[in-house]
Amino acid sequence: MAQMKELKRAYGFDDVAIAPGEITLNPEGVDTSFKFDGHEFKIPFLASAMDAVVNPSFAGELSRLGGLAVLNLDGLQTRYEDTESIYSDIASTPREEATAFLQKIYSQPVRDDLVSRRVEEIKASGATCAVSLTPANTKRLAPLLKEAGAEILVVQSTVTTVRHISKSLRGLVFSDLIESLGLPVLVGNTVSPEVTRQLMEEGVSGILVGVGPGAACTSREVLGIGVPQVTATIQTAYARDQYFEDTGRYVPIITDGGIRTGGDVCKSIAAGADAVMIGTPFAQAKEAPGLGFNWGMATPHASLPRGTRIQVGTKASLEQILLGPSSLTDGTQNLVGALEISMGMVGAATVREMHQAEMIIAPSIKTEGKIFQHAGLGS
């Protein structure tokens, strides 16, 4: 019978806040570690598989600080031997020619030898080697990177489901891939509790959560599609918890996209994420290969542009961004410190205790010139 479509309200980072708890903990005492399938990372921070963010040396530095970087195997790193000159050319291209130049640069084919080489370089840096593929080239390249020694595979596309219907391509079957590969596979992106459950049943080791999260996001403008991250995280975390209750297997979810500040990190974790994946804030690190620029990796359709090049600037070292000290009060530095303090204020000793934090709907309005340091000691 005909039914009137009903709409449910969804919330993003700027719509919510965390309420402090009934007990408090010393920030030094909290445990923010992130674990899955035998891997353990001291801090729940992944770096996005974006060309402007992660190269092998960045992966080494993030590993040293306790996190995990994911290298994009479908980008510049596997198309060019000498990437430094490419990054430098991208940075120096005039603005109006940047999109065309990116399209040209990315038209070079992916080289199998470079796939192996990048994996080896990451391992040489001492980092756990995590690399990403798009579904389309996963079958061809997955054996290669396994052989080269990659430890974690990330399979990512704009929207991921278990069942993809295509004329040209026999869909990737995740359960087959995982069985044949014998590596932990993180899959994304989704925002749907049903798809989350289905992917967990396929045997994936983690889920990347986030589709068009930003209110000003291209997916939203161009395709009308997107779910704000707090709601996406809450509903996929719920699917994870149900799956854990039903099966005893805990498959972490990682909020990926739209995170800008320490506050966003804390809200992601409080909403139910086990870790966060960070793009732009890491593209602003001195160690990022993009030289103060960032550009989108997704090209959902041949006739849509790959992504505008954005000048994000170089702000601080990766260590300062993650661990401080911070000379800024805008929340873009000392992201780990912010998470620890926030967990302390909520009385959460672990990430999973932080999942129980009370959250409220309280829109933040960016009032220029009215921002003022306040932490409960008057105003």
Q: If binding is defined by CB under 8 A, does position 3 make contact with its own copies?
A: yes
Q: Which of 217, 251, 269, 322 is catalytic?
A: 217
Contact positions with its own copies (CB under 8 A) in 285-304:
294-298, 300-304
The yes or no reply on residue 277 touching its own copies (CB under 8 A) is yes
CB of 182 to its own copies, least distance (A): 25
* Pick from 108, 148, 141, 143: nearest CA to 124: 148
Residue from 228, 252, 289, 290 in contact with its own copies (CB under 8 A)? 228
**Of 177 and 270, CB closest to its own copies:** 270
Strands 293-295 and 309-311 turn out to be: antiparallel
> Taking the alpha carbons of 284, 289, 291, 296 in that order, is the dihedral positive or negative?
negative
| Measured distance CA(252)–CA(205) in Å, rounded | 7
Instruction: Specify the 3-state DSSP secondary structure of 70.
Output: strand
Category of 258 on φ-ψ map: left (φ > 0), alpha (ψ -120 to 50) or beta: left
The span of 85-93, 109-117, 143-151, 329-337 binding its own copies (CB under 8 A) equals 329-337
121-150 positions binding its own copies, by CB under 8 A? none
Distance of CA 166 to the CA centre of its chain: 27
The verdict on 262 binding its own copies (CB under 8 A) reads: yes
d(CA 267, CA 259): 10
* Residue 59 contacts its own copies per CB under 8 A: no
* Residue 108 touching its own copies (CB under 8 A): no
- DSSP structure string for 248-264: S----EEEES---SHHH
Interface residue with its own copies among 43, 211, 288, 351 (CB under 8 A) is 211
Give the DSSP H/E element, type plus range, for residue 44: none
| Active site annotation includes 129 | no
Nearer to its own copies, 7 or 182 (CB): 7
> What is the smallest separation between the CB atom of 116 and its own copies, expressed in angstroms?
23
Q: Which two tokens stand for residue 171?
A: 């869909």
By CB under 8 A, the count of residues binding its own copies is 153
Q: Indicate the residue among 110 and 120 with the shorter CB distance to its own copies.
A: 110
By CB under 8 A, is residue 170 in contact with its own copies?
no
Select the span of 85-93, 114-122, 145-153, 252-260 touching its own copies (CB under 8 A): 252-260
